Amino acid sequence: MNISHKIETELKELGASFVHFVDITSLSDKENKNFPVAILFGIKLSSNYVQKVMNTPDYVQKMVKNNRNFSSDEFYLTELKTGELADRISQWLIDIGYKAYSHSDKNQIETGFFNGIYEGTPLPHKTIARIAGIGWIGKNNLLVTTKFGCALCLGVVMTNAPLEITPSNPIQSKCNNCNICITVCEPKALKEHTWNLNTEREDMLDIYKCTTCLNCLIFCPWTQNYISKNEATSNE
């Protein structure tokens, strides 16, 4: 049985936009829990959703005021789905005799891998995505990709299963002198810092100021390119 092929096929059938098998042996034991490989997959947000959020002032704030009702929000639902798929793949690998660890929010909280006080994890999904060459860490502290911009939700499973590593080359930041995400950040949570290997989250973002308004995701020029390309395709 080709485990890599089976996992990739199943994830794509269930909506994944891409699947990569990533060598994570360069990470510390604290980060990779001594697992050599990560299964990284992403599900894109629809361009229609991104456009809707952009055209709706205070989109997130309105949901918060509505008894924190996110039940119809595509971002929220996609985040849930990536977690459910990670749990599903992890359990399947365990069932066939391998070790695996799902990076779903639920599992990270239950196993203490997520620090509720610090509001962070030793191994964010975007770290693995950067190693995989999917994109770079933008000044908005989000993963930025040339294909989807920031309109992407990620899922991760770490495992010792013998998977076929996907060739990759980390991408250098393409933010350059762009500061649009800084400009549209109303609570001034972003610190106008260009990410590097020694960067801590606190260098990029004040999490206690961030309201998760999505402006820095929506108005990133790479996200705008994603919207424009999909609009052009739909009009052909």
Per-residue pLDDT of 86-105, as tens digits, reads: 999 999 999 999 999 999 99
Mean pLDDT score of the chain, rounded to an integer? 93
Give the CA distances from residue 199 to residues 92, 173, 191, 221, in Å, rounded to whole numbers and listed in that order: 35, 13, 12, 23
24-72 pLDDT, tens digit each: 999 999 999 999 999 999 999 999 999 999 999 888 888 877 767 778 8
Q: How many whole angstroms separate alpha carbon 173 and alpha carbon 136?
A: 5
Give the CA distances from residue 16 to residues 57, 161, 232, in Å, rounded to whole numbers and listed in that order: 29, 20, 23
Could you tell me the residue ranges of all domains in the chain? 3-234
Question: Under DSSP, is residue 67 helix (H, G, I), strand (E, B) or coil?
Answer: coil
101-113 average pLDDT score: 95
> Does the pLDDT value for residue 234 go beyond 60?
no
The contacts of residue 74 (CB under 8 Å, 6+ apart) are 45, 46, 49
> Does the pLDDT value for residue 195 go beyond 60?
yes
> Please, what sign has the CA dihedral across residues 53, 54, 57, 60?
positive
> Does the pLDDT value for residue 80 go beyond 50?
yes
- Return the pLDDT at 25: 96
Q: Which is higher by pLDDT, 23 or 72?
A: 23
- Return the pLDDT at 115: 82
- Return the pLDDT at 235: 47
213-232 pLDDT, tens digit each: 999 999 999 999 999 988 65
What single-letter amino acid sits at 149? G
Q: What is the residue-wise DSSP string for 141-210?
A: SSEEBTTTBT-EEEEEEEE-S---PPP--PPPP--TT--HHHHH-TT--B------TT--HHHHB-TTT-
131-151 pLDDT, tens digit each: 999 999 999 999 999 999 999
199-224 average pLDDT score: 94
Rounded percentage of the chain residues whose pLDDT exceeds 90: 81
Which of the residue ranges 112-121, 142-151, 207-216 would you say has the lowest mean pLDDT? 112-121
Q: How many whole angstroms separate alpha carbon 53 and alpha carbon 61?
A: 11
Written as six digits, the tokens of 221 are: 């020029």
In the chain, what is the straight-line distance between the N-terminal and C-terminal CA atoms, in Å? 42
> Does the pLDDT value for residue 236 go beyond 60?
no
E strand map for 3-124: 18-23, 37-44, 100-102
Long-range interactions of 58-63: CB distance < 8 A, separation 24+: 58/213, 59/213, 59/214, 60/211, 60/212, 60/213, 60/214, 61/211, 61/213
- Cβ 24 vs Cβ 132: under 8 Å: no
